[in-house]
Amino acid sequence: MKFIDEFRDGKLARGLAVAIRQSARDDRDYHFMEFCGGHTHAISRYGVSDLLPANVRMIHGPGCPVCVLPIGRIDMAIRLARDAGVILCSYGDTLRVPASGGLSLLKAKAGLGSRSASHGEHHGDIRMVYSAADALAVAQQNPDREVVFFAIGFETTTPPTAVVIKRAQALGLRNFSVLCCHVLTPSAIASILESPEVRQWGSVPLDGFIGPAHVSTIIGSRPYEFFAEEYRKPVVIAGFEPLDVMQAILMLLRQVNDGRALVENEFSRAVTRDGNRKAQQLVAEVFELRRSFAWRGLGELPYSALRIRKSFADFDAERRFAIGYQAVADHLACECGAILRGVKRPQECRIFGSVCTPENPVGSCMVSSEGACAAHYSFGRFADAAAVQ
């Protein structure tokens, strides 16, 4: 098939695998973090790790939008649906993320945790949408109901949210608002690089990053230059196809071997240095930086997320319904925090695959197919079994 199979070609993969084996020096290990969940998914789904030599290791990063959403944010969405009686529109992955009190949006939708026990009353009206535009359409179809779009994600999903907010304003919609939980990639990378595990203790050896694919189409490659210079870590921006990942690993190996720390762009078919200026302007028009935002695993990070500007206050669900964020501690045994920082691997979590499975996720990393735990559970856990035997 055009433009799909070409990037998954087994023959090219074998060629790259040979080049990687030849480039990797025997006397050292290489540790690369793939930032994005999209890369994590590709590595697991296509078995990329099976093609790498033992001394080239991939560390899963925090770039999975639903994984970094803290419990308190899901709670806000549930409160809106259940207590404020709104129609809450959400992307599918977010529905299964565990919230407080054993709830999730999916369980709230089925009526769990609502005050009335009888069937058919006081259910959270929670609907899955494929896009922000779908949520806007729901608002137009239900003029007598309040409709809230639960907007999550990194820079890739932010421009579409900006578009619907502007569109809602232009249409004069009075029943549509957005619960904005959009976060910023560079903040997460900085947090990883500043963490004591990387900086002081060296318990997370990190020789370079595979940089985001889709996020970079929006923000460009320029924002990563600071990390390459300041922290002396090479960054190779790569697409989400398995050959992209293999090629990026080879490029990272060569940089490390040469002692270079540059931003290189493997995904040049879609990413430029400046990114999508139009999208950036749109985002800047509608959103502003939050002073601080709580991330799952990474904690409170200053200026790491966006909120809706005052000029669009009518469309800001936080203002409209006067709901605030309340921090909730993660499950005690859940290692999602450490896994998101690259400190632990999924299989090192005590409850991985036993208490915590994709059917009954305890932590967010077991929810989305981009989450490190879900990817390892769904595609890669045969390797653990082999290790046991």
Partner 1 sequence: MSGARKGYVRPLDLRQGRVDMTHGGGGRAMAQLIEELFARRLGNAYLGQGNDAAVLPMPPGRLVMSTDAHVVSPLFFPGGDIGCLAVHGTINDVAVMGARPLYLAASFILEEGFPLGDLARIVESMARAASAAGVLVVTGDTKVVEQGKGDGVYITTTGVGVVVDGEDYAGDRARPGDRIIVSGSIGEHGMAIMAQRESIGFAAAIVSDTAALHGLVAAMRASGAAIRALRDPTRGGVATTLNEIARQSGVGMMLQESALPVQAEVAAACEFLGLDPLYVANEGKLLAIVAPEDCAALLAAMQAHPLGQRAAVIGSVHPDPQHFVQMTTAFGGRRIVDWLTGEQLPRIC
Interacting residues with partner 1 between 68 and 107 (CB under 8 A) = 96
**Does 54 engage in binding with partner 1 (CB under 8 A)?**
no
161: helix, strand or coil: helix
CB of residue 14 vs partner 1: minimum separation in angstroms? Answer: 6
**Does 382 engage in binding with partner 1 (CB under 8 A)?**
yes
Interacting span for partner 1 (CB under 8 A) from 4-12, 64-72, 169-177, 199-207: 4-12
CA–CA dist 99, 69 (Å, integer): 10
Angle, CA of 153, 159 and 162, to the nearest 5°? 105
Q: Per-residue x/- mask for partner 1, residues 194 to 223, rule CB under 8 A?
A: ------------------------------
**Does 167 engage in binding with partner 1 (CB under 8 A)?**
no
CB of residue 370 vs partner 1: minimum separation in angstroms? Answer: 10
Q: Which H, E and C letters describe 326-357, residue by residue? A: CCCCCCCCCCHHHHHCCCCCHHHCCCECCCEC
Helix (H) or strand (E) holding 59: strand 56-63
Look at the alpha carbons of 60, 61, 62, 66 in this order and tell me if their dihedral is positive or negative: negative
Q: Per-residue x/- mask for partner 1, residues 7 to 46, rule CB under 8 A?
A: -xxx--xx--x--------------------------xxx
- Contact between 37 and 67 (Cβ < 8 Å): yes
Beta carbon nearer to partner 1, 169 or 369: 369
**Does 377 engage in binding with partner 1 (CB under 8 A)?**
yes
Task: Pick one of 130, 322, 324, 387: the residue that binds partner 1 (CB under 8 A).
Answer: 130
**Does 379 engage in binding with partner 1 (CB under 8 A)?**
yes
Phi first, then psi: what are they for 105, rounded to 5°?
Answer: -60, -35
Task: Pick one of 63, 242, 297, 371: the residue that binds partner 1 (CB under 8 A).
Answer: 242
CA–CA dist 61, 34 (Å, integer): 6
Task: Pick one of 119, 322, 359, 387: the residue that binds partner 1 (CB under 8 A).
Answer: 359
51: helix, strand or coil: helix
282: left (phi over 0), alpha (psi -120 to 50) or beta: alpha
The number of residues that bind partner 1 (CB under 8 A) is 29
**Does 47 engage in binding with partner 1 (CB under 8 A)?**
yes
**Does 142 engage in binding with partner 1 (CB under 8 A)?**
no
240: helix, strand or coil: coil
CB of residue 383 vs partner 1: minimum separation in angstroms? Answer: 8
Tokens of 51: 């093609």
358: helix, strand or coil: coil
Interacting span for partner 1 (CB under 8 A) from 79-87, 191-199, 330-338, 378-386: 378-386
Beta carbon nearer to partner 1, 326 or 369: 369
Angle, CA of 321, 326 and 332, to the nearest 5°? 145
DSSP 107: H
Interacting span for partner 1 (CB under 8 A) from 182-190, 216-224, 343-351, 376-384: 376-384
**Does 51 engage in binding with partner 1 (CB under 8 A)?**
yes
Beta carbon nearer to partner 1, 51 or 152: 51
CA atoms within 13 A on the CB side of 50: 14
**Does 50 engage in binding with partner 1 (CB under 8 A)?**
yes
Beta carbon nearer to partner 1, 67 or 286: 67
Beta carbon nearer to partner 1, 102 or 130: 130
Q: Between β-strands 56-63 and 87-90, what pairing exists: parallel, antiparallel or unpaired?
A: unpaired
Task: Pick one of 55, 100, 326, 378: the residue that binds partner 1 (CB under 8 A).
Answer: 378
**Does 387 engage in binding with partner 1 (CB under 8 A)?**
no
**Does 345 engage in binding with partner 1 (CB under 8 A)?**
no
CB of residue 244 vs partner 1: minimum separation in angstroms? Answer: 12
- Contact between 74 and 83 (Cβ < 8 Å): no
Q: Looking at 70-221, which runs of residues are DSSP E strands?
A: 87-90, 125-128, 147-153, 176-182, 208-211
- Contact between 90 and 58 (Cβ < 8 Å): no
Helix and strand tally (H, E) in the chain?
Answer: 16, 13
**Does 121 engage in binding with partner 1 (CB under 8 A)?**
no
Interface residues toward partner 1, by CB under 8 A: 1, 4, 8-10, 13-14, 17, 44-51, 96, 130, 242, 358-359, 374, 377-382, 385
